[in-house]
Amino acid sequence: MNKELKVLLLNLASPPGRRLWRDDAGGFGVAIQFPQKYKKGSETTLHPFLPYASSLLLDAGYEFKVIDCQRLKPSDNVQTLSMVKKEDPDVIFSIISLPSIWNDLKILGEIKRSLHNVTIVGVGTVCRVIPQEILLKGSVDIVLRNDFPYISNMIDLIKALQHSQNLKNVNGISYVENEQMISTPESPELDINDLPATCYDSIPLDGYETFTDISGESFTYVSVLDSKGCPYKCIYCPYPLGYGKEWTFRSPTAIINEIEYIHNVRGVKGFAFRGQSFAYNRKQAIKICEEIIRRKLDVAWICESRVNEVSRELMKKMKEAGCRRIHYGVETGDPETLKIAKPGVELETTKKAFKITRENCILTQAHVILGWPNDDHRTLEDTRKFILNLKPDIINLNFLTPYPGTKMYEIAERNSLILTRDWSNYTSHTVVMRTKTLNANELYTIKKKIIRDFSKQKLRKLLQPDFPIVKRPRLFINKARSLVNKIMFPQD
């Protein structure tokens, strides 16, 4: 055992007044304004880095602890610092996100000043894409420039630190030497089959986010990495940057072994398949469903899928295996914009996907992006009408965000569309780039109108006597109150 070196896996809390999902947007993270009075509620999902890194450290024999502040919700930085000091680690691996970047660096700086001998290592897509921002503007000593779930070369780095070896011999890292950033050679993208089995022994699984199904039933869930990588080349999408460009997948047996353990041993019923598109390989998706059915696992799960990849046959199998909710990238209701947003997909394809999903009583969530470079009042009115016609159960309205490293960032910069380069505003819900004809205020106004009109539509549907949650009075009242609030104050 290498007990002489203690490792801490740290996930810092969300910035004050924000709710943060660190593993969304290709690992850049997204955030919404979140009043402090709701702080006691479930905050976020368990980040896959924690169970995968735990497995590596356990197998290598290192002493380690996990502190997930997004679950623990410390009252302030002083409490966070106290928890870290109590563990007195030699090395800290901390997840860093774009919307929380300055808050993360501030807290890590306080830790560094308090624990002078600790080595702080940053992980995450931000560290992979803009390592100079992390290393030159904070107290982080080293970053791992690897892809999701950010564990490549982790043990090599720990060994180099432990034995005071030259860091230049560790691939895929960046660090500062003589006030200059040094970057070692890139590592190849991680094949998902090279991942170790996850380890949840040091991680409580309560207190995380829940999802609801079409009947209103709620499930606390754990994310399971079924596949990794996105082969599509959408110019705006950060998925290839964080998750990799090559699609690789785990065997259905390994996936369901993990789910079965978490369900039977840890008592969790809800799961999220974290691959970038569950239905990308239809045969693989069906095998996963059939394995769940064969083992008679009473589980509920959600996934992401592209609208052009689902079919009635697959949807029926997914429903039988416990699928309760599907997230689709709708992106826009304008056919010309769609050619950029989702090449090869047509609006009719989206309509068909939502139709067959509803037929199987699976909840639909539509992810829509406002503020494409050529968006104007007409194209966004088309998007508004398309959403109302589509009738998804939930909508997630985002503003187009030119993430660093994407083609869209280059386009936005070249056309002088970027309004700010303060990364903490790159939340996906804050306007950071205008269109060629619309400014930020106009985009916010259009978003509010869409939210208001969609909420009115949802409220009318909710008041129908055959709506599933009518028989659950408390849920019905809370849902109705939420919709009325969005109609009156459509902020998000």
**Final residue before a domain boundary, out of 127, 153, 177:** 177
Domain assignment of residue 201, yes or no: no
Tell whether 477 and 352 lie within a shared domain: yes
Tell whether 256 and 305 lie within a shared domain: yes
Domain assignment of residue 182, yes or no: no
| 59's tokens | 């197998």
Domain assignment of residue 191, yes or no: no
β-partners of residue 176 are: 181
Tell whether 247 and 144 lie within a shared domain: no
Tell whether 151 and 217 lie within a shared domain: no
Tell whether 107 and 256 lie within a shared domain: no
Rounded CA separation 78/84 (Å): 10
Q: How many domains does the chain have?
A: 2
Tell whether 353 and 475 lie within a shared domain: yes
Tell whether 148 and 254 lie within a shared domain: no
Helix axes 282-294, 312-320, angle to 10 degrees: 30
Instruction: Tell me, yes or no, if the pTM score tops 0.85.
Output: yes
**Final residue before a domain boundary, out of 156, 177, 198:** 177
Question: Could you tell me which residues come within 8 angstroms of residue 488 by beta carbon, excluding any fewer than 6 positions away?
Answer: none
Tell whether 275 and 160 lie within a shared domain: no
117 and 90 Cβ atoms separated by less than 8 Å: yes
Domain assignment of residue 375, yes or no: yes
Antiparallel, parallel or unpaired: β 248-249 and 270-273: unpaired
Task: Count CB-CB contacts under 10 A for residue 95.
Answer: 28
Domain assignment of residue 197, yes or no: no
| 44's tokens | 């976020």
Rounded CA separation 191/228 (Å): 8
**Final residue before a domain boundary, out of 177, 196, 220:** 177
Tell whether 163 and 301 lie within a shared domain: no
* The dihedral formed by the CA atoms of 242, 243, 245 and 248, expressed in degrees to the nearest 10: 170
Sign of CA dihedral 128, 130, 132, 134: negative
List the CATH number of the domain containing 74.
3.40.50.280
Tell whether 72 and 220 lie within a shared domain: no
| 99's tokens | 């919307």
Residue range(s) defining the domain that contains residue 35: 2-177
324 and 302 Cβ atoms separated by less than 8 Å: yes
Domain assignment of residue 164, yes or no: yes
Per-residue pLDDT of the chain (492 residues; tens, 9 = 90+): 344 789 999 999 999 989 999 999 999 999 998 765 445 545 688 999 999 999 999 999 999 999 999 999 998 999 999 999 999 999 999 999 999 999 999 999 999 999 989 999 999 999 999 999 999 998 999 999 999 999 999 999 999 999 999 999 999 999 999 889 999 999 888 889 989 999 999 999 988 999 999 998 999 999 999 999 998 889 999 999 999 998 999 999 999 999 999 999 999 999 999 998 999 999 999 999 999 999 999 999 999 999 999 999 999 999 999 999 999 999 999 999 999 999 889 999 999 999 999 999 999 999 999 999 999 999 999 999 999 999 999 999 999 999 999 999 999 999 999 999 999 999 999 999 999 999 999 999 999 999 999 999 988 887 887 776 666 777 777 777 777 777 777 775
List the CATH number of the domain containing 407.
3.20.20.70
Sign of CA dihedral 218, 324, 47, 199: positive
pLDDT, tens digit, for every residue of 161-183?
999 999 999 999 999 998 899 99
Tell whether 70 and 146 lie within a shared domain: yes
**Percentage, residues of the chain above pLDDT 90:** 83
Q: Phi first, then psi: what are they for 410, rounded to 5°?
A: -65, -45
* H or E segment and range at residue 251: none
186 and 197 Cβ atoms separated by less than 8 Å: no
| 156's tokens | 């090599």
Domain assignment of residue 154, yes or no: yes
| 436's tokens | 């060629």
Tell whether 170 and 213 lie within a shared domain: no
In three-state secondary structure terms, 114 is helix
pLDDT, tens digit, for every residue of 299-349?
999 999 999 999 999 999 999 999 999 999 999 999 999 999 998 899 999
